[in-house]
Amino acid sequence: MSIISKIIFGLTILALFFSAKQVLAADNIKTAEFYVYDSNTALSSPANQDFQIYIGDNISAVTNPVKSAYFKISGTYTGGGSINFQLDSGNSQTFTLPSVANPTYFELFYADNSSIINPASAGTYSYNFALTPSGVTIYGTAVKLNLTYQYTPVSCADGSGQKVKTAEFYIYDSNAAISSPSNQDFQIYIGDNISTVTNPVKSAYFKISGTYTGGGTVNFQLNSGNSQTFTLPSVGNPTYFELLYADVSLIINPASGGTYSYNFSLTPSGVTIYGANVMLDLTHQYIPPSCNNMPPTGGLTSVIFDTTQSGTLKPAYNSIMWEGTLNGGVGRVRFQLASSDNSSGPWDYFGSSDNGVTCNSSSWYDPGAPDAPAEITCASAYHNNQRYYRYKIQLCSNDDCATSGSITPEVDDVIVNWAP
């Protein structure tokens, strides 16, 4: 004799896990950072550099999308005089630097007050940055652009309107003085979908800073290529420095999401560096999730069922089955079962994906389709002869139950088959 226990799930309850609410993201402004220029030689005459920025978001409907655009210029200088900055052929600004007896670190902000950086839609934009020193010599010149702009996010449940972002990664630091070669293995992680993006990395550069004594050079190398040597002037007192070392060889060039490993080496010559630290700023383009994607899983835990009422029968659990539909897609509906001789538990949930060879809390019974019973293969080890039971049900929007998909399973009935 077989006894069937049945429960009807309310469709409204299940819909809570997979309803795609059409809402606008509240975060509709962002800041992206782009590498512009660096010089590993001393500058005392005009220099200029063509550079590009990339806008990946929808700014077509935004009036004056750029809210802030400024360049951060830094280095160590000697002498006394001025530095002129110019973006394209306009917005010329001249900064005066005081005469110094010793090499001195400086940092200047040069704003795009003329709104030259004024994109009207997503895409790649090219500009030219010019730097003209007068009366001063600059060592370790570094220029980067901070761009803050407004955009229109997509009508998506998770508000995924972002198509370009800047991430910062820790690379290296030293609490000891460095006067000989040093290197560090490091990793970066890309969590976005970049598989269909051509050249997803839009800007990748290292920021190296610290305090140095002496006079000479510092060489930086990424993996076994892209070697650059920067000259630091001789100083009488410990002096702060910050250098930008760009990945001009495109060594950091991931093709898909995941973890990537690299090696960064630093070799001083004639200088000693104190408090060295290295950070990587990585700006990349990506494809946001589709708006019709659901969360990877939704779940529900059932009420407690009493198999015998009087307690005179001891059940043996046979199978579990569900009725409903996968709505024409490749999704899954899976189960775990818990049982106890006490209506208060404890409740330990078990499943198995290999016919009971492995029974644990991370495995699930998977009937594969509606109206197809899955044998409760862990019953003899964990459930038989226990009066009370309950189960967990997991609805998966994709076949792997790990990534977001577009499938919305609907469960009407869950049937647990047991026999006394």
Measure the CA–CA gap between 393 and 109, rounded to whole angstroms. 57
By CB atoms closer than 10 A (0-12, 13-18, 19+), residue 225 is exposed
pLDDT score recorded for residue 7: 35
d(CA 3, CA 306): 12
- Per the DSSP assignment, residues forming a β-bridge with 189 are 259
Which pLDDT does position 327 carry in this prediction?
A: 79
Which residues touch 64 (CB under 8 Å, ≥6 apart)? 115, 118
DSSP 28-54: -EEEEEEEEEE-SS-B-S-EEEEEEEE
The pLDDT assigned to 20 comes to 32
pTM: 0.62
pLDDT tens, position by position, 277-305: 999 999 999 887 665 567 788 888 999 99
Q: What are phi and psi of 410, to 5 degrees?
A: -120, 125
- pLDDT tens digit sequence for 179-230: 999 999 999 999 888 988 889 999 999 999 999 999 999 999 999 888 999 9
The single-letter DSSP state of residue 289 is P
Ranges of residues in the chain with a pLDDT under 70 are 1-27, 154-162, 289-293, 309-311
> Do the Cβ atoms of 59 and 118 come closer than 8 Å?
no
Domains, the chain, in order of start with CATH, read 3-20+292-419 (2.60.120), 29-285 (2.60.120.1200)
| pLDDT at residue 3 in the model | 34
pLDDT of residue 384: 92
Write out the two tokens for 295: 């969360």
* Beta sheet of 3-8, edge-to-edge order: 3-8, 410-419, 316-325, 374-375
- According to the model, what pLDDT value does residue 311 have? 61
| Residue 288 phi, psi dihedral angles, 5° rounding | -75, 165
